[in-house]
Amino acid sequence: MSGTRRYQDVAIELRELIRSRGMAIGERLISERQISEELHVSRSLVREALIMLEIEGLVEVRQGSGIYLSASPDEKAPMMRDDIGPFELLQARQLLESNIAAFAAEMVTKNDILRMREALEVERKGIETSDPNYNGDEMFHLLIAEATQNSVLVDMVRELWRKREQSPMWARLHERIFNADYRTAWLDDHRVILTALQSKDPAAARRSMWQHLENVRETLMELSDVEDPAFDGYLFQPIAQIN
């Protein structure tokens, strides 16, 4: 269907599947994996479509229990959103920011490094105080872009964060998984990236940024899976790592 994102097409197909089976409100849908197989689409597209339908109020996702119909598809008209799915956004970040980190390693200055250390300290304090904001996290990624001395790249990274902040799908996903453990792990990732930048090692900077965003992606995929939190298959394909 033209004019829609792929996950929106999947949401429409899922609506039709619910309607064709005459499901009653409160009835449990087939599993995420079964939907993926029946509609012949990836597991990540199904998950993004379900998040969209949950935001619309058509389905309810119960952690560890399943997906339940909470309204009739005839009563709940679809609200087509210009919203980017969280895994699509992460894929774009992985492609762009890993290469930005490599370039930053060549261009970074002492002042850039000092500012990045300050950002990590903001991030650390945010974790300690359970601050729900990601100020230090965002600051660190933007400072890496600024270290390239290229304003176009800075604008590109800033736009990716803006899309994340304005995404209801991203917000809904984070409501389910917010905890200090994964934020601490990601802070450790940031320290590895900073070490590569300090060493002015472009290959290490690219690898460490790629791996950091891969860790974020895998965490979101695993913890957002309502059917089997340990399931690690059918993952949204990451951008191939370039050495």
Tens of pLDDT along the chain (243 residues)? Answer: 444 578 888 888 998 888 888 888 999 999 888 998 999 988 888 888 888 888 888 898 887 788 899 888 877 656 555 567 777 888 899 999 999 999 999 999 999 999 999 999 999 998 888 877 778 999 999 999 999 999 999 999 999 998 888 777 777 666 665 566 888 999 999 999 999 999 999 999 999 999 999 998 887 776 654 443 333 333 345 556 656
Q: So what's the pLDDT on residue 227?
A: 47
Q: So what's the pLDDT on residue 234?
A: 39
Measuring CA to CA, how many Å separate 48 from each of 8, 36, 83, 174, 239? Answer: 8, 12, 10, 13, 19
Residue 116 and residue 167 share a domain: yes
Q: So what's the pLDDT on residue 93?
A: 93
Residue 190 and residue 99 share a domain: yes
Q: So what's the pLDDT on residue 73?
A: 81
Residue 121 and residue 29 share a domain: no
Residue 157 and residue 58 share a domain: no
DSSP label at residue 234: S
Measuring CA to CA, how many Å separate 5 from each of 8, 10, 80, 178, 200? Answer: 5, 9, 10, 27, 39
- Domain total in the chain: 2
Assess if residue 234 is contained within a domain.
Answer: no
Residue 100 and residue 60 share a domain: no
83 membership: H or E segment, kind and range: none
Residue 24 and residue 131 share a domain: no
Q: So what's the pLDDT on residue 224?
A: 56
Question: The domain containing residue 164 runs over which residues?
Answer: 86-223
Q: So what's the pLDDT on residue 78?
A: 61
Q: So what's the pLDDT on residue 119?
A: 96
DSSP label at residue 157: H
Residue 137 and residue 105 share a domain: yes
Whole-number Å distance between alpha carbons of 24 and 193 = 51
Contact status, residue 167 vs residue 83, Cβ threshold 8 Å: yes
Q: So what's the pLDDT on residue 236?
A: 44
Q: So what's the pLDDT on residue 175?
A: 67
Residue 111 and residue 204 share a domain: yes
Write the CATH number for 139.
1.20.120.530
Assess if residue 78 is contained within a domain.
Answer: no
Write the CATH number for 65.
1.10.10.10
The per-residue b/e assignment along 8-25, b for 16 or more CB within 10 angstroms, e otherwise, is bbbbbbbbebbeeeebee
Residue 99 and residue 46 share a domain: no
